[in-house]
């Protein structure tokens, strides 16, 4: 199952929702699209507008691949569950977000080998990305370094009291 998510953002992401819906018509594999604020409502893929974070987590666990807008929360959910990830940045030019920081995050993840990125959104680029990310080695990194940094700081303040 391919899970597509555009998050709870108050702007739509029609470019991704529409392209994934068109792709769903051609695939044997099940596609589930969370379409959020998008004005285009899927026709071929199973779809819903919003759901609880528990339900999103459960769907993420069931998914073979996640195709997500490039928001931190959505990406974290996929990486925490160790799922191959395609990130698609919302772009200011298309009225999808107020700036292009999602593009920066997408590029950084691509360079770190943690996700495949799609910026030109169409059925072809999406299916290619889905195939590519399935063979990426998903690195289990976790927050160990940051957690240690915090523990150290707290310990040093505690000993200074």
For residues 21 and 33, give the distance between their C-alpha atoms in angstroms, rounded to a whole number.
8
Give the x-and-dash track for 120-159 against other proteins (CB under 8 A): ---------------------xxxxxxxxxxx-xx--xx-
Considering the rule CB under 8 A, would residue 34 count as an interface residue with other proteins?
A: no
Interaction of residue 61 with other proteins, rule CB under 8 A: no
Interface residue with other proteins among 27, 40, 91, 108 (CB under 8 A) is: 108
Nearer CB in complex with other proteins: 43/148: 148
Single residue of 6, 31, 63, 105 touching other proteins by CB under 8 A: 105
The reply on whether position 41 binds other proteins by CB under 8 A is no
Torsion of CA 135, 76, 11, 31, to 10 degrees: 40
Among 74, 85, 86, 133, binds other proteins (CB under 8 A): 74
Residue in 3, 79, 121, 133 binding other proteins, rule: CB under 8 A: 79
Place of tokens 């303040």: 157
Q: How many residues bind other proteins (CB under 8 A)?
A: 35
Nearer to other proteins, 64 or 139 (CB): 139
Interaction site with other proteins (CB under 8 A) = 8, 52-53, 71-77, 79-80, 101-102, 104-105, 107-108, 114, 141-151, 153-154, 157-158, 161
């Amino acid at each position: 199952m391919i899970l597509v998510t555009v998050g709870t953002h108050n702007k739509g992401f029609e470019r991704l929702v529409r392209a994934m819906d068109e792709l769903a018509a051609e695939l044997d594999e099940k596609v589930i699209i969370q379409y959020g604020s998008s004005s285009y409502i899927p026709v071929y893929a199973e779809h819903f507008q919003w759901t609880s974070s528990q339900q999103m987590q459960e769907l993420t666990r069931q998914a073979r691949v996640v195709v997500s807008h490039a928001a931190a929360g959505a990406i974290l959910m996929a990486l925490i569950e160790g799922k191959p990830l395609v990130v698609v940045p919302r772009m200011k030019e298309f009225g999808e977000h107020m700036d292009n920081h999602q593009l920066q995050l997408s590029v950084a993840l691509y360079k770190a080998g943690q996700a495949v990125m799609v910026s030109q959104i169409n059925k072809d680029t999406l299916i290619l990305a889905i195939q590519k990310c399935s063979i990426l080695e998903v690195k289990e990194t976790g927050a160990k370094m940051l957690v240690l940094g915090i523990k150290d700081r707290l310990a040093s303040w505690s000993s200074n009291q």
